[in-house]
């Protein structure tokens, strides 16, 4: 009887989570009314303290064991690896990886199933965001075509909650995701390798989820993201595909990110109580930024900022003053807000 019911499940809604019991419970309460017999809820607990089962057990009590699973990692494997765990653990035809703190629209699951019915052979279905609207739908066939248009949809593909994957199409490429964990976009690495020559990505103008900015202490550092994304260029792509990917990554570069990363490495040194690490971290950022930047002025500014980190204590005091004047808050507030850590708390 159990196997018969599980055979009906077509969509797994997987939520990677770590130490966000309230937002997770809220997300699940919005999901439960939308679930159908074809849906399964999978929560991948990244060794939260306390375990997420303690907080969401009552919310899942009305669901039977075939439609709700909680998998707890033995240790915190990091946010990016936990996203890949969702792919690895999925046993249904389709997978929707959902952040535990984003706002789900009331018709999200119905919209997803309708789109699956219209595009049953696609590798990925990608939905729009309020901040990144689309006037019409489109399809990219093959890696070359996807990379030629990826710049315009980079943010929606980077945001995990907007994509639904056909598991059989992406799972053979999960190795590339694990290789690209430091990129902060392992799911994008999996998709780029999975589409190959014939895979398709459908871009829908419909919206299923709304991005909610991270709360204090749970955000992503500008330094780790900007240091990580250029690593995608290490994927085994041909020269033309690499040109398109570099163009897409370059298009998202903002000049002010150079300064944001500088502040972030000082925050990291502040939190780690090791200011000597700041120059090393910013050098890592500079080397990766150089693979994308074509601006001599930007490179000159980066080099100047690197030089100031030879005296990190002086640089820290200067940034403290500048940050209080410009942002009207302390550098410690900035460090706490982005939750700087090698293991991003997601």
pLDDT one-digit tens code per residue, 10-19 = 999 999 999 8
How many whole angstroms separate alpha carbon 132 and alpha carbon 165?
20
Asked whether residue 176 falls in the same domain as residue 250, the answer is no
pLDDT score of 341: 44
pLDDT value of position 344: 39
Q: How many CB atoms lie within 10 A of CB 233?
A: 15
Same domain, 140 and 233: no
pLDDT, residue 251, reads 82
Q: What angle do CA 31, 34, 35 make, to 5 degrees?
A: 85
Quote the tokens at residue 256: 């002010």
- Residue span of the structural domain in which 199 resides: 2-210
* Burial of residue 167, with CB atoms counted within 10 A of its CB: 0-12 exposed, 13-18 middle, 19 or more buried: middle
**Residue 78 DSSP SS3:** coil
Supply the pLDDT for residue 180.
Answer: 96
**pLDDT score recorded for residue 224:** 77
- Looking at the fold, whether 186 and 291 belong to one and the same domain comes out as no
CB 49 within 8 A of CB 19: yes
Domain-located, residue 217: no
146 and 34 fall within a common domain: yes
Please report the DSSP string for 120-169 in residue order: TT-SEEEEE-SSS--SS-EEEEHHHHHHHHGGGGHHHHHSGGGEEEEHHH
| Number of domains within the chain | 2
Alpha carbon of 171 to those of 176, 273, 297: distances in Å?
10, 41, 43
What three-state secondary structure class fits 48?
A: coil
Q: pLDDT under 50 in the chain at which residues?
A: 1-6, 217, 341-346
* pLDDT reported for residue 330: 75
Give the domain CATH number at 24: 3.90.550.10
Q: Which two tokens stand for residue 136?
A: 């019409």
């Amino acid at each position: 009887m159990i196997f018969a019911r599980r055979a009906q499940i077509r969509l797994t809604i997987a939520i990677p989570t770590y130490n966000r019991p309230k937002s997770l419970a809220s997300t699940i309460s919005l999901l439960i009314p939308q679930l159908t017999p074809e849906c399964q809820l999978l929560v991948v607990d990244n060794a939260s303290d306390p375990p997420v089962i303690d907080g969401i057990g009552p919310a899942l009590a009305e669901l039977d064991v075939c439609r709700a699973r909680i998998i707890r990692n033995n240790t915190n494997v990091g946010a990016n690896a936990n996203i890949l765990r969702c792919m690895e653990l999925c046993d249904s035809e389709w997978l929707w990886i959902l952040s535990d703190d984003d706002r789900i629209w009331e018709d999200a699951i119905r919209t997803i199933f309708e789109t699956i019915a219209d595009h049953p052979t696609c590798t990925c279905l990608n939905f729009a965001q309020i901040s990144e609207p689309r006037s019409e739908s489109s399809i990219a066939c093959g890696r070359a075509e996807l990379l030629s248009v990826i710049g315009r949809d980079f943010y929606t593909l980077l945001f995990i909650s907007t994509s639904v994957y056909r598991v059989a199409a992406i799972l053979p490429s999960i190795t590339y995701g694990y290789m690209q964990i430091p990129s902060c976009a392992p799911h994008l690495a999996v998709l780029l390798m999975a589409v190959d020559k014939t895979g398709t990505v459908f871009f829908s103008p419909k919206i299923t989820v709304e991005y909610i900015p991270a709360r204090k202490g749970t955000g992503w550092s500008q330094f780790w993201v900007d240091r990580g994304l250029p690593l995608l260029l290490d994927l085994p792509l041909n020269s033309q595909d690499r040109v398109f990917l570099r163009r897409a990554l370059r298009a998202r570069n903002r000049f002010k990110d150079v300064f944001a990363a500088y502040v972030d490495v000082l925050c990291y040194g502040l939190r780690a109580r090791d200011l000597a690490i700041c120059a090393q971290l910013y050098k890592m950022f500079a080397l990766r930024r150089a693979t994308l930047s074509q601006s001599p002025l930007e490179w000159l500014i980066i080099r100047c900022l690197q030089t100031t980190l030879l005296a990190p204590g002086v640089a820290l005091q200067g940034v403290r003053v500048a940050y209080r004047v410009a942002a009207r808050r302390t550098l410690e507030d900035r460090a706490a807000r982005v939750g700087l850590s090698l293991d991003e708390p997601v």
